[in-house]
Amino acid sequence: MCGIVGYIGNKNSVPILIDGLKRLEYRGYDSAGVGILSNESAEVYKKEGKVSDLESHISEFKLNSKVGIGHTRWATHGIPNEVNAHPHFNPEKTLLVIHNGIIENYTVLKKNLRDEGYEFISDTDTEVLVNLIDFYLKKELNLCNAVRFALSKVEGTYGIAAIYKNEPDKIVVARKGSPLVIGVGEEENLIASDVNALIAHTKRVVYLEDNEVAEIYKDRFIVKTLNDEKLQKHIEEIEGSIEEITKGGFPHFMLKEIMEQPESIKNSLRGRVILKDGLAKLGGLIGYEDRIAGSKRIIICACGTSWHAGLVAEYMIEQYADIPVEVEYASEFRYRNPILSKDDTVIFISQSGETADTLAALKEAKRKGALCVGVVNVVGSTIARESHTGVYIHAGPEIGVASTKAFTSQLIVLSLITLLIARKKNLSVVEGREIAQAILELPEKVQEILNQNELVEKVAEKFVDAHNFLYLGRGYQFPVALEGALKLKEISYIHAEGYPAAEMKHGPIALIDENMPVVFIAPTDSVYEKVVSNIEEVKARGGRIIAVANNDNGKIDDLVENTIKVPSTIPMLMPVLTVIPLQLLAYHIAVKKGLNVDQPRNLAKSVTVE
Ligand code: AGP
């Protein structure tokens, strides 16, 4: 998704903008640009490709300006090229605008503006917005009012920033559906799509809500509604450090985040497990525990990896908390007519807290009276703020597009929610203690698996040239099979599918030959023998097998070509362990293919558009 940064203060804005854009690269993009105001004019510099290409391009101009905006573009309308890159500008090049989102009625607006004599040089919806603002500037409105009037005509989503040569003392920003945060400094203020671009300058932030517009000066900011009503906004203190969002000596953010999972899991469960009583303590749910435990039904809505975590939670909650669970793709849920009532609890899982489909599903569930619970990583994100209640997973900033530590932290929080509900229902203190103890032991067990990184790398070496993969698992390991397949396909571009192992005979087994590597997630659980039968079926057809199995399983090494061993734990927590080798396998295959592991092609870290 696009990245937005802005600066106004006493320093040269240009290096600040470039650094901010670099901290937003993980969001995914294909071009970048900056816009600044100088005494004579408004200047725009943009390049297709990486922020570093833009940085090289502008280095020759020795730019120096106290106010500027920057943008990384993830193309929605118009191919990735210099003309379509942001900032976009009005005919006189006195007004510069950057935009994250989609203007759905841009064709109608473009026609109306053409009728007013405007011409367009790009294929973007954003250029329509610039000229619409310009149309109101020419009616003697000031920048803020021109932006308000223009946005009142817009249908769709936006996070925008605008600077105007005739009003060089401010940046005007507005949001609807795409995140925008104000960074409050000393004699300087910043704006960004997310806090990762602000944290090097300030930890004091103000989150804009939908339909809010703000004038950002170097020493103050004024927030209003689109209807020009002034608002009092709370300045919040953000968590995290600059160290947490840099690579810390690792070659890629993804490897750093895989390797820090013992720590991130500790952070997710810190202060939340009461071992002696076999209980979970989740401050965010206080006041809602009985309503959640009394739900007639729990629905889980999410996308991608978060949806896989929801599938694991379905098994957890139905096994221990005695409540029926349905897991929904948020993108489907939001456009169906889901039958909901106040007796339903809907859990929204989202690392970024900004996924458009998940946010829309949340608003739909709220409209229908269900209790909405957010399980989110980014503090202060929109889904976290829109939910009635919720639990932060505290995995820390996840920069790599492929979600790893957030997934295991989601599972930790979902297991704690399961424990909390179950202990209000039929789970005994003895059973509760067993689950609590098993959760507390996870960080050490994850570290034990990570210590096999080199073994997994050797296995990966054998499969770099594969063109297809199958991932198979049963029960709790079926969602892990889906997650392992997603990890591989999204960073190595190898086609991979996850299936319930039993489904093989219903079609997929036709794919098996010596060119089809098959990953079996095969812990020694209640269905292990059935998985072994599936392994035999694949072997008999020449399939090459990688098996993830328990440390104490000595037999499987004679059965399959490659085994990766993991410690044992209770079945509901095994996904936290069995997913680790699959994260490493995908990572090493992608690295050996020389691919951009942290910013895979076509992908974004946070999908804030439909
Ligand atoms: C997973 O590796 C991907 N990055 C993607 O599937 C992601 O999980 C999905 O877009 C949901 O994002 P969210 O958790 O921020 O809502």
Task: Specify the residue with its C-alpha closest to ligand 1, atom 6.
Answer: 304
The residue whose C-alpha atom lies closest to atom 5 belonging to ligand 1 is 304
**In sequence order, what are the residues at sequence separation of 6 or more whose Cβ sits closer than 8 angstroms to the Cβ of residue 424?**
289, 290, 293
What is the tally of helices (H) and strands (E) in the chain?
20, 27
Cα 353 to middle of ligand 1, angstroms: 10
Name the residue at shortest CA distance from atom 4 of ligand 1. Answer: 402
What DSSP assignment string belongs to 584-609?
HHHHHHHHHTT--SSS-TT--SS---
pLDDT of 587 > 90? The answer is: yes
C-alpha 416/C-alpha 281 separation (Å) is: 8
402 Cα to the center of ligand 1, angstroms: 7
Does 176 map to a domain? yes
Nearest to 608 by CA among 326, 328, 351, 240: 351
User: What tens digit of pLDDT does each residue of 166-192 get?
Assistant: 999 999 999 998 889 999 999 999 999
Lining residues, ligand 1, CB within 6 Å: 303-306, 350-352, 355, 358, 401-403, 486, 490, 606-607
State mean pLDDT over 559-570.
96
Last residue of some domain: 243, 278, 312?
243
The answer to whether position 609 is within a domain reads no
What is the whole-number distance in angstroms between the Cα of residue 444 and the centre of ligand 1? 26
* Sequential DSSP letters for 547-570: EEEETT--SHHHH-SEEEEE----
With a cut of 80, say whether residue 460 has pLDDT above it.
Answer: yes
Judgement on whether residues 459 and 419 belong to the same structural domain of the protein: no
Q: Which of 254, 299, 272 is nearest to 406 (CA)?
A: 254
Considering the domain boundaries, does residue 606 fall inside one?
no
Domain assignment present for residue 445? The answer is no
| Torsion 365-371-377-379 (CA) sign | positive
Residues 414 and 457 in one domain: no
Q: Does residue 604 form part of some domain?
A: no
Kindly state the average pLDDT of the residues 538-561.
Answer: 94
- In the sheet with 544-550, reading across from the earlier edge strand, the strands are 495-500, 468-473, 517-521, 544-550, 562-566
Going 235 to 211 to 135 to 106, the CA torsion angle's sign is: positive
Q: pLDDT, tens digit, for every residue of 91-130?
A: 999 999 999 988 989 999 999 999 999 999 988 899 999 9
My answer on whether 202 and 334 are in the same domain is no
**One-letter identity of residue 235:** I
Q: Which of 258, 352, 408 to mutate to test the pocket of ligand 1 (most atoms within 8 A of CB)?
A: 352
Closest CA to 445 of 281, 565, 311, 589: 565
Residue 178 confidence (pLDDT): 86
Among left, alpha and beta (phi > 0; psi -120 to 50; other), residue 353 is left
pLDDT at residue 84, as a whole number: 85
Percent of the chain with pLDDT over 70: 98
pLDDT interval class at 415 (50, 70, 90): very high
Sign of torsion over alpha carbons 51, 57, 58, 60? positive
Atom of ligand 1 nearest to the CA of 604: 4
Q: Which of 331, 351, 488, 598 has most ligand 1 atoms within 8 Å of its beta carbon, as the pocket-test mutant?
A: 351
Q: What is the pLDDT of residue 1?
A: 66
The pLDDT of residue 237 is above 70: yes
pLDDT of residue 528: 96
Same domain flag for 238 and 266: no
Measure CA 475 to chain center.
26
- Alpha-carbon distance of 414 to 394, in angstroms, equals 13
Mean per-residue pLDDT, 76-82 = 73
Atom of ligand 1 nearest to the CA of 490: 2
Centre of ligand 1 from the C-alpha of residue 581, in Å: 19
Q: How many Å is the Cα radius of gyration of the chain?
A: 25
Spatial neighbors of 263 by CB under 8 A, at least 6 apart, are 443
With cut-offs at 50, 70 and 90, classify the pLDDT of residue 67: very high
In the predicted structure, residue 239 carries a pLDDT above the cut 90: no
Minimum-distance ligand 1 atom for the alpha carbon of 383: 16
Q: Residues 335-387: pLDDT tens digits?
A: 999 999 999 999 999 999 999 999 999 999 999 999 999 999 988 889 999 99
351 Cα to the center of ligand 1, angstroms: 7
Same domain, 40 and 138: yes
Strand partners, 237: 204
User: In this structure, are residues 235 and 378 in contact, taking their beta carbons and an 8 Å threshold?
Assistant: no
Q: Do 175 and 198 meet the contact criterion of CB atoms below 8 Å apart?
A: no
Q: Confirm whether 576 is domain-assigned.
A: yes
Residues of the domain holding 504: 450-597
Q: For residue 35, what are the β-bridge partners?
A: 44, 69
Report the C-alpha gap between 363 and 475 in whole angstroms: 31
**Which residue among 328, 348, 355 has the greatest number of ligand 1 atoms within 8 angstroms of its CB, and so is best to mutate?**
355
Domain at 351, CATH number: 3.40.50.10490
* 3-state SS, residue 206: strand
CATH number for the domain spanning 44: value is 3.60.20.10
Q: Tell me the residue length of the chain.
A: 610
Neighbouring-strand partners of residue 158: 176, 177
Examine residue 607 and state whether it is found in any structural domain, yes or no: no
Query: Could you report the per-residue pLDDT of 316-328, keeping only the tens digit for each?
Result: 999 999 999 999 9
The minimum-distance atom of ligand 1 relative to the CA of 305 is 8
In a shared domain, residues 414 and 287: yes
Domain count along the chain? 3
Mean pLDDT calculated for residue range 37-46? 88
Same structural domain, 426 and 484: no
Of 440, 460, 492, the residue at which a domain comes to its end is: 440
State the pTM of this model: 0.79
Q: Which residue type, as a one-letter code, is found at position 365?
A: A
Q: 92 with 198, same domain?
A: yes
208 DSSP 8-state letter: P
- Rounded mean pLDDT of the chain? 94
Q: Which of 243, 270, 289 is the last residue of a domain?
A: 243
- Give the pLDDT confidence of 128-144 residue by residue, as tens digits: 999 999 999 999 999 99
The pLDDT value recorded for residue 202 is 94
Residue 434 pLDDT class (50, 70, 90 cuts) = very high
Q: Are residues 282 and 228 in the same domain?
A: no
Residue whose entry in the numeric block shows the structure tokens 């999908």: 607
User: Which string of DSSP letters, residue by residue, matches 163-176?
Assistant: EETT-TT-EEEEEE
Distance 135 CA to ligand 1 centre (A): 39
**Judging by DSSP bridges, how do beta strands 517-521 and 544-550 pair with one another?**
parallel
- Kindly state whether residues 378 and 432 are assigned to the same domain: yes
The owner of tokens 């597009």 is 401
pLDDT score at 108: 94
Do both 396 and 361 map to the same domain? yes
Please say if the pLDDT value at position 238 is more than 70.
yes
CA 100, chain centre distance (Å): 16
Q: For the chain, how far is it from start to end, CA to CA, in angstroms?
A: 11
For residue 19, give Cα distances in angstroms to 70, 135, 201, 212, 381.
10, 33, 11, 27, 22
Say whether 246 sits in a helix, a strand or coil. coil
**Chain segment 290-318, per-residue pLDDT in tens:** 999 999 999 999 999 999 999 999 999 99
Residue 77 has pLDDT above 90, yes or no: no
Q: Omega of the bond prior to 168 within 30 degrees of 0, cis?
A: no
Say if residue 454 is in the same domain as residue 527: yes
The two structure tokens encoding residue 170: 């401010």
Q: Which residues are catalytic?
A: 2, 605
Is residue 152 included in any domain, yes or no?
yes
Q: Please give the average per-residue pLDDT across 447-455, as a whole number.
A: 96
Q: What is the pLDDT of residue 27?
A: 67
Contacts of 196 (CB under 8 A, 6+ apart): 23, 24, 26, 245, 397, 399
Q: What is the position in ligand 1's atom list of the atom closest to the CA of 401? A: 4
- Token pair for 154: 């817009």
